[in-house]
Structure 1
């Protein structure tokens, strides 16, 4: 069996040569050199909104012993600039060699729908990641992803206007992930992405102020890995659609732990800030790890927790 056959994973809209991809925002739009994106299974873009966003006041990030705390605020060029400049550049750089999943976020259901409609009318992507962890202005600042009803409403509405596979990216900041995961499955999601960042804070004791300008931020990195694995496991017991695991992946065993818990593929985020080659390092290590744990192919790892 060839290495390609051992590592390949086929999910709705994502025909991948291996199960490793970046998380949204980790490589912006994947046009900068480095990160070894061409070696991965899929390119995931920065989350795109309807209007251009400059993001929250800086500083945006704080490095902690436990991980990376960020409050970027969905800074991005906006959908019209993405359609005009960024997606054509992605196509020119990677051609058809790499599936492309565009991440979207809206402040209202109508914005999600409008974003999905515009993207569906292009030939630049193979799947849409619906980020359900952004503020929902219609519901008083609540994130769509913390309510089964609100999450279902977004997925149902987006599903009506696109034939592209939809992956619902859910928030970990909930009491129980299972009813939300089930709700997006019933609404028509092709898959689930878990997890987004965990809300946290860090203080400058001398100034008696938060280190982030906004106060709170999203914690990513090694500290959230056990939380993410637990949520992937719980979701996998509830839904039958594919799950993409995210959170604190720094080495091949981290990725396989997600897959054993129920994920079919994984996304790498915070680790790219410290090692731009971490994704290709994991891909290189996969065949040996499969041998070590007595698996023939990477697909055999999914949902094998005893």
Structure 2
């Protein structure tokens, strides 16, 4: 079965050998997972969030397990864009699959500067713009909650990176996610990925303290999958650009559910913490899952949810 996917945006397209990508912040810079499977077998790798300068992230504890998922407040710890381009990117098989850089900044201008630097890199296939990080105190979440701010960030990246597909990653922590999707589409996004984590917290009754030093973190894992499916379904009906589904995907059947509601591709995140070979296993299981359901092509399944008999 041909599992290849073309995410055709209005300006740029992204070609994947299969619809299974990894989610930013859950797969390191990519090379760390090479012992657990063939990186080139994946549809694409989205590396951990990059900033212009290195970031230390939030104080520990930064991760807490929850029912059906996990909370994280890592705070986008990373080595900075220059270290990534010079030391991390050359370790990845970027000629064999798309490597997507995830961008984090605190202003549209800073997003533009980061995009301009990455637009020069042949090994970077696309840019994913993080307008919605709930575990960073500098206001990143504000971009993801205001359509005008999200649009301004999208335009800044689009203008400074004319040679790369631009993916905007949306937050579910909004009243109407379709407004956000339409705003970034109008501002020049080629694709949308969703969802980022839900904002949440956990407490320890014995110590009467929060379980995260940052108090609030991002909830991910199977617990958020129903929310993610709802968001993907709504966005796919509201925009004309491809949607990449994220949220609680740990099996081939999960992938097909997201495609059924309109996604072109998916990203696996927390599943990589559950088992480091999760993304590789899902890719290998996908043809058999399609066969069990009588699906002869992903295009046939995409967006075919039956609302009435």
Q: In the aligned structure 2, how far is the partner of 1:142 from the partner of 1:75? A: 16
Q: What is the TM-score normalised by the length of structure 1?
A: 0.93
Cα pair distance change 1:244/1:95, threshold 3 Å: closer
Is the Cα–Cα contact under 8 Å of residues 50 and 103 in structure 2 kept in the other structure?
Answer: yes
Task: For residue 31 of structure 2, give the secondary structure of its aligned residue in structure 1.
Answer: coil
Cα pair distance change 1:83/1:284, threshold 3 Å: closer
Residue 286 of structure 1 is matched in structure 2 by: 286
Once the two structures are superposed, what CA deviation does each residue of 1:215-250 show, in whole Å capped at 9, x if it has no partner?
011000010000000000110110010000000011
Greater alpha carbon shift after TM alignment, 142-151 vs 171-180? 142-151
Q: CA deviation at 1:34?
A: 3.1
Is the Cα–Cα contact under 8 Å of residues 35 and 272 in structure 1 kept in the other structure?
Answer: no
Q: CA deviation at 1:287?
A: 1.4
Cα pair distance change 1:233/1:115, threshold 3 Å: same
Residue 183 of structure 1 is matched in structure 2 by: 183
Once the two structures are superposed, what CA deviation does each residue of 1:127-184 show, in whole Å capped at 9, x if it has no partner?
100111147x9x9665211111111111112111212110000011001101110011
Q: What is the TM-score normalised by the length of structure 2?
A: 0.92
Cα pair distance change 1:141/1:210, threshold 3 Å: same
Q: In the aligned structure 1, how far is the partner of 2:285 from the partner of 2:31? A: 25
Unaligned runs of 5+ in 2: none
Q: In the aligned structure 1, how far is the partner of 2:250 from the partner of 2:123? A: 30
Task: For residue 256 of structure 2, give the secondary structure of its aligned residue in structure 1.
Answer: helix
Say whether 1:84 aligns with 2:86: yes
Task: For residue 35 of structure 2, give the secondary structure of its aligned residue in structure 1.
Answer: coil
| 1:74-153 pair list within 5 angstroms | 74-90=76-92, 94-134=93-133, 142-153=141-152
Q: In the aligned structure 2, how far is the partner of 1:210 from the partner of 1:242? A: 38
Q: In the aligned structure 2, how far is the partner of 1:84 from the partner of 1:108? A: 25
Is the Cα–Cα contact under 8 Å of residues 94 and 124 in structure 2 kept in the other structure?
Answer: no
Q: In the aligned structure 2, how far is the partner of 1:271 from the partner of 1:243? A: 20
Unaligned runs of 5+ in 1: none
Q: CA deviation at 1:95?
A: 4.5
Residue 66 of structure 1 is matched in structure 2 by: 68
Q: 1:39 aligns with which of 38, 41, 47?
A: 41
